[in-house]
Structure 1
């Protein structure tokens, strides 16, 4: 693929993380000649977050490979209907059906270790109030970031971007994988999302799927595998 036709890779982070969770992936993609955008997801509601990411995609010139990790998978499921999205890549993510909520999909399977490690904190701002969901810092390294450098995992544990509880309840108004070629990575040692949730969503969507022995933060634990899958999606859907 020549440099001129390479898509822009838009990296969408998930809950309890921010765009720095792609810190090992971004330089590898840039070195391979890709333009990269890694926006900050508000993590307030699936509908609102997807609308924000859709606006980022619309303003990105040329074709886009849209990548979503974890909750970011639910976000790209909705935002990925934008015309210039040429491929979707799910990383240990939720691939929702149209009309399905994150809570509904997850509720079909046994809980992961995450359920016992969640913290619920009321919040209030000038425009809204609700409940923030985060991971207990002492549990974060083992449940969320196994295989990541312990010093980095400790920093990530205290710098989480919480997810508002509303995001679990919003039903997806669209499922972009129905019309966009899609790839999915299962983190087979995931203790945050039951890997069977990932497998089920990917299989239902008919995705090209790979399994990687990794914890939930696969972008930091196994960045080479992530970049390889993104490149596969980019090559397969090149104009």
Structure 2
């Protein structure tokens, strides 16, 4: 069993695993083992449980990387025994018992708040539909990816993976950063998650922070910076 951590890249809301494409290319070129699972985006507890199940099946140590809502997911899933560190990318970092809505509510809204679209979806076993949240396709480029290639951004805008609205009010059952080393990238030009929300969470987690002049999709806009921080974490985590 190798002691070199496997990097598990966890995407956020309104995105999918392909959002890490440029980062994966660089990590694979390093010889790093990478797993990029799909996140169901249906509830914080369920999404974290799914990612935790992926982590448990990996032999050896794991470095969890979470973007946006994925930061909340890895904060809970990071309690798995083989997780050795957490990397947050333009992410929510929740405390135990805290929800996305509670954390966001401490700060002024970003432009994302007025660009959200709410759509019902069927819930198996229930007569009541769920509500999923996505971003107005016409607003997606300016809010999420103003510094990303226009052609790619148009594709991303129409291929969003929505987030169930219930996830915003669901409290985190635990906070793995209390026992693990953490790194965080602040996307200082972010119009989706207020950069001060990111800074607050990272400071609370005592993360090593890097500020990057980038939009919310920092993995597309500044992949070299993201890879640099992941490499730093890989070289620093206890194994």
Smaller-chain TM-score bracket? over 0.9
Q: Which runs of 5+ in 2 are unaligned?
A: none
Matches of 1:178 and 1:9, distance apart in 2: 20
Counterpart secondary structure, 1:121: strand
Equivalent residue, structure 1, for 2:14: 16
How far off its partner does 1:7 sit?
0.9
Note if 1:193 corresponds to 2:193: yes
Range with bigger deviation, 92-101 or 127-136: 127-136
Q: Which residue of 1 aligns with 2:27?
A: 29
Alignment of 1:1-239 (within 5 A): 4-127=2-125, 129-239=129-239
Contact 1:6 1:238 survives alignment (8 Å) = no
Q: How many residues align?
A: 237
Q: Which runs of 5+ in 1 are unaligned?
A: none
The separation in 2 between residues aligned to 1:127 and 1:62, in whole angstroms, is 38
Aligned structure 1 segments of 4 or more residues deviating by more than 6 angstroms: none
Distance in structure 1 (CA, Å) of the matches to 2:18 and 2:142: 19
- Over residues 26-75 of structure 1, what are the superposed CA-to-partner deviations in whole Å (9 max), with x where a residue is unaligned? 01000011010000000000000000000000001111010000000000
Looking at structure 1, the residues matched to 18 and 144 of structure 2 have their Cα atoms a distance apart, in angstroms, of 15
Question: Aligned equivalents of 1:130 and 1:182: distance in 2?
Answer: 34
How far the C-alpha of 1:6 sits from its partner, in A, is 2.0
CA distance in 1, matches of 2:175, 2:227: 24
C-alpha distance after superposition, 1:61-94 (max 9, x if no partner): 1110100000000000000010100110000000
Cα distance in 2 between the residues matched to 1:93 and 1:51: 19
Distance (whole Å) between structure 2 residues aligned to residue 28 and residue 125 of structure 1? 39
Q: TM-score, normalised by structure 1?
A: 0.97
**Following the alignment from structure 1 to structure 2, what is the Cα–Cα distance between the partners of residues 184 and 10?**
15
Give the TM-score normalised by structure 2: 0.97
User: 1:198-220: CA deviations, max 9, x gaps?
Assistant: 00000011111110000000000
For 1:119, what is the secondary structure of its paired residue? strand
Q: Distance in 1 between matches of 2:119 and 2:217?
A: 23
Cα RMSD, aligned residues only: 1.1
Q: Distance in 1 between matches of 2:212 and 2:68?
A: 15
